[in-house]
Amino acid sequence: MKKILVQDICEYLMLTYELSNVDTWKVLNTYSEVLKDTLTQLQSSVRNEEIKDAELHAHSLKGALLNLGLENLAQEASRLEQDFRVRIEKRHLLLVDSMVDALKDVANRSPDQGAALL
């Protein structure tokens, strides 16, 4: 899965939502928090085979990714959400892990990083 760059998301947010630098920074900071929490919860629910929670977290992840313009990843999240309505399989954990890896820079950035990028 291709690694997502913070700079690309910043550009997308500014262009699509007509955001100022300051607002882009604020939104990015909030999304970093949201993504970090959601991915952690998703990983945990998949590991523990909590099917309902896994579906809910996949759904939340899908929404966040769509807003950030990450359509391919959002499609992956959508497939996970649909799969979790039926069952959790081993391959799902691998898929979630690779999503975590792809989003690592965005989810694990410190709030100050945004200012430097902008």
Partner 1 sequence: MILFSPQQGNQPESIPVLQVLLVDDDAAQRMLLTMTLERAGYEVLEASNGREALEVCRDYPDVRMIITDLSMPVMDGFELIQAIRADQVRYMYLIVLTSTEDKESVIKALSLGADDFLCKPALPEELKLRTMSGFRMLQMESTEELVFSMAKLSEYRSEETGCHLERVQHYTRLLARDLSETCPEMKISFAQADEISRVSPLHDIGKVAISDAILHKPGRLTPDEFEEIKKHTIIGGELLHDIYSKTRSHSIKIAYEIAKYHHEHFNGHGYPEGIKGDEIPIAARIMALADIYDALTNKRSYKDAMSHEEAKEIILVERGRQLDPRVIDSFLRQEDVWETIADKFMLDT
Q: Which is nearer to partner 1, 26 or 104 (CB)?
A: 26
Residue of 5, 8, 23, 111 interacting with partner 1 (CB under 8 A): 23
SS3 49: coil
Nearer to partner 1, 47 or 52 (CB): 52
The CA angle 54-91-107, to the nearest 5 degrees, is 55
**Token pair 């959508």 is at which residue?**
78
Rounded Cα–Cα distance for residues 45 and 59 (Å)? 13
Which of positions 37-96 make contact with partner 1 (CB under 8 A)? 56, 59-60, 62-64, 66-67, 69, 78
Considering CB under 8 A, how many residues would be counted as binding partner 1? Answer: 21
Termini Cα distance of the chain: 26
- Residue 19 as a binder of partner 1 (CB under 8 A): the answer is yes
Instruction: Scan for tokens 């550009």, then name that residue.
Output: 11
Residue ranges binding partner 1 (CB under 8 A): 16-19, 23, 26-27, 30-31, 33-34, 56, 59-60, 62-64, 66-67, 69, 78
